[in-house]
A and B are shown apart, each in its own frame.
Chain A
Amino acid sequence: MSAGFRFSRAWSIARKEVRHVRRDPFTLATALGLPILLVVFFGYAIDFNVKDIHMIAADRDNTRASREWLKNFTSSRFFKLEPADPGQDPQSALDTEQAKGVIIIEPGFGNDLGAGRPAEVQILLDGADNSTTGIISGYLIGIQQAAWKKISSGPRVQPLSLQTRFLFNQEQNSRWFVVSGLVVVVIGVLSILLTALTVAREWETGSMELLLSTPVRPLEIIFGKLAPYLGLVLVSVVMVYLVARIQFGLPFMGNHLLFLAGILLFLCLCLAQGLLISVITRQQQLAMQLSFISGLLPTLLLSGFIFPIESMPPFFQYLTYILAPRWFMVISRGLFLKGVGLLELAQPLFMLLLLNLIMMGLALKRFKKDLEP
């Protein structure tokens, strides 16, 4: 039955679909507006870089040594130090959210240091905000080391020193990290949503009856209907890519052809997923909800876009194996920031291919079963 595929019929469906898109402001606005919205939102509004953290310093020693030690904080751009109110318990600054941390230097700090005794500094951090706390304590180690070198006269070598050097994304720019994952989000959300709507609309308005009463074949409908959206989403991807490179100054260390291969694999998978949703729901409203749940949530939460997969509970870690966004995220970040090659991307590419075959098989089977008498 599937023999006799006519390209001309698929082509006329595609042309008709382009007309729909051109005349439907919602589709156009979604396809071109959503990527921009996402880039602005994730690129500008969300910033994981820690800068200008408010700290309160209560220097009760007030010697040269203690002032010298505190200077380490003010000279880094990460902290903004303010002297504590003498009449007030410095800890109250944490309760009132005036500061994220409090540094207390007790009297005798300078003397202890001079005498070679262990000198103590107390640092209180607001544990309620545990993302900043983690970062602050990370910085503190570095500052402590720097301080140690300055204060201790002479090149006293520490018995063990840890030095971390970041290999990729050396500036630890969280925008790079986020924006390099945006391509995944844009494709994941947009392509599923648009396809789910387009086929559901055909059922909802009754025009599917017209298609079915002609000799058109299911495969021709699928190709005709999906091709324009493939093009549309590719345009959005190019938009996001250009914004990432030009506006955010992202590097692209990998091979563009490899990137295109990854994009096409992931895109086809999403289109198939949209088609499956459409066939199951046959209603635009329901299709929209289902595609947000099955498209947006996994891409935002379970792909490693923001939340690292390694720190998820084991169940969710395994769950991400069957989620395409996770694999495409590896490809996208690897190519943007690390410049990995085909060898390193073999596993994610293979997984995408495998998931693609499964999803396409499911969608085609359901669609054909629905259409073919």
Chain B
Amino acid sequence: MKPVRKQRLYLILAMVVAIAVAAGFGLNAFNQNLMFFFAPTEVVAGKAPDTAVFRLGGMVVEGSVQRPGDDLLVRFDLTDFEQVVSVEYTGILPDLFREGQGIVSRGRLRTDGVFVAEEVLAKHDENYMPPEVAASLKRAPEDLK
């Protein structure tokens, strides 16, 4: 390779590396702001804001969904399999909302530690399968592991 071209090649490589490093530092500094939601463990540990609105994500605990009245109020627990936070929500839930499903809710903490949600979004997982396969998975989960 001619020296001029070699120099240009090194210049370009250096530029790409420098930008990557700068972006890495930047993203690292704003790591917390880039998180779309807090996990229940972080909320219990007091890392989530006390008064401001934030998002809470987790799995809906099996058997925890209750509708106390005949209005749209619904109560359920969210877990990351370490800690549990109770959530209250008034409104229409998305189609994919069900027990054992991951969801993300936006709202704020009440003083008694219950999370009052203003919005509930379903977080879909990355698994795709026909219903028959899902049914047989449920029957014999250890077969496929």
Query: Do A and B come from the same complex?
Result: no
